[in-house]
Homo-oligomer: A and B are copies of this chain.
Amino acid sequence: MSKLIGNAIVGQSGGPTCVINQSLVGVIEEHFNHGCIETLYGARHGSAGILKEDFVDLSALAVKNGNVDMEYLNKLAYTPSAALGSTRDKPDEEYCKKVFEVFQKHNIRYFFYAGGNDSSDTARIIRDMGVKSGYDLKVFHIPKTVDNDLCGIDHCPGFGSAAKFVAQAIMGDNQDSRSLPGIKIDVIMGRHAGFLTAAAALARQNPGDGPHLVYVPERNVSMEQFISDVKAAKAKYGRCLVAVSEGIHDENGTPWAQRMAENVEKDAHGNIQLSGSGALGDFLIGQLKKAMPGERMRADTFGYLQRSFAGIVSEVDATEARECGRLAVKWACTGERASGSVSFKRISSAPYRIEYYCNDLENVAAKTKYLPDEFINEAGNNITDAFIEYALPLVGELPQMGFIAG
């Protein structure tokens, strides 16, 4: 096979993570090893920047006095969120056609796209257009999402660091709730998959530690059941710390957030906006207050902190995200495949070891992975030890909490 020579574009898409810049830096540093890439462009705000031809010359940016500026790149790698800018655009065929025209105009022969399942779908559509029109183009998807819901990969780059944040937040909040007891609800990201909420269970270290209840979108829960669970935990522990996915469903499978929004719009004549992120936690507290009057109750919503906090990163996650960026370039420049999604399987948990492989875009595109049954307890209100075993190697070292017994 003769070398495909031309320019490359890298883009970042979807909700940011704390290590998506590690993947970006992996792409940047690896492209210097492959002469087939003439210039590596960064697209500002993903596909949106491609349409607007809003590019940064990353080949030039990363070089200082004739050398690759590793100090700059390493600092960039440890910066949370998408340094090139991200986008919420979900390109269809029409949109991708325009992207493809820009590629042809700039002789783009390599396309690296870091994102979730929507982004891998974008990559797939563009790849197919190349094949159809006989335009040689290599397309590689680099996995990223705090939701951990991509198929075919043991876990997603971005998840470990977000899980570490959630674990440390719950760890501290558990101490706070022990010191001033009451009912505490923490709302955690995850509209469809409960992995990140499940990470709250990593916080448990000492007897009686919360979270005492964990609700994920994979299980329905009625308000009656929720209230009854909280009452039982309160009776047992003298307090109750609850971790709740933003995507939890009621007994009919309707998201609680949706039901709540309907009710409130009717009641409040449009004066109160409930799309703000504290709404679900406040709603649940409101329901509990009616059932348990006089109790001290609080809700926190972790919001964007859990995906973009500066200074909390899992080193395992950082290393894997960087390697995914590097492999995308390496496979594109030296491998036999014209497209794929960088993926890995777990070989063992203790010692922790993974093995990288190239997955088909079709196996990732627009598909969602859910929390397996074995990670959720029978009652559907807590997380099992099997999940801890799965997730603990991904977050790296956690702080150790002291304790005054009795």
Contact = CB atoms under 8 A, between A and B. Distances in A.
Interface in A308-327: 308-312
Given A79-B402, A298-B276, A85 B178 contact: yes
Given A267-B272, A278-B281, A305-B305, 7 more contacts: A77-B402, A81-B175, A83-B179, A172-B310, A263-B271, A267-B268, A298-B304
A300 interface: yes
Interface string A389-406: 000000000111111101
7 contacts: A42-B404, A72-B402, A80-B175, A81-B175, A172-B310, A176-B304, A282-B282
A329 interface: no
B312 A299 contact: no
Interface in A254-290: 263-264, 267-269, 271-279, 281-283, 285-286, 289
Going nearest first, the 6 A-B pairs with the smallest beta carbon separation are A278-B278, A276-B282, A76-B402, A300-B303, A81-B175, A273-B286
Interface of A: 12, 15-16, 18, 21, 42, 45, 56, 61, 72, 75-88, 168-169, 171-173, 175-176, 178-180, 184, 203, 263-264, 267-269, 271-279, 281-283, 285-286, 289, 297-305, 307-312, 398-404, 406
Given A56-B404, A176-B16, A278-B301, A286 B310 contact: no
B298 A277 contact: yes
A307 B273 contact: no
Given A267-B268, A277-B278, A309-B172, A179 B400 contact: no
Given A172-B80, A176-B16, A300 B277 contact: yes
Contacts of A401: 75, 79, 310
A282 B278 contact: yes
B272 A308 contact: no
Contacts of A81: 172, 175-176, 178-179
Given A267-B267, A310-B175, A311-B168, A404 B272 contact: no
A171 B80 CA distance: 9
Contacts of A271: 263-264, 267, 286
Contacts of A303: 298-301
Contacts of A184: 304
A85 B21 CA distance: 41
B76 A404 contact: yes
A322 B309 CA distance: 27
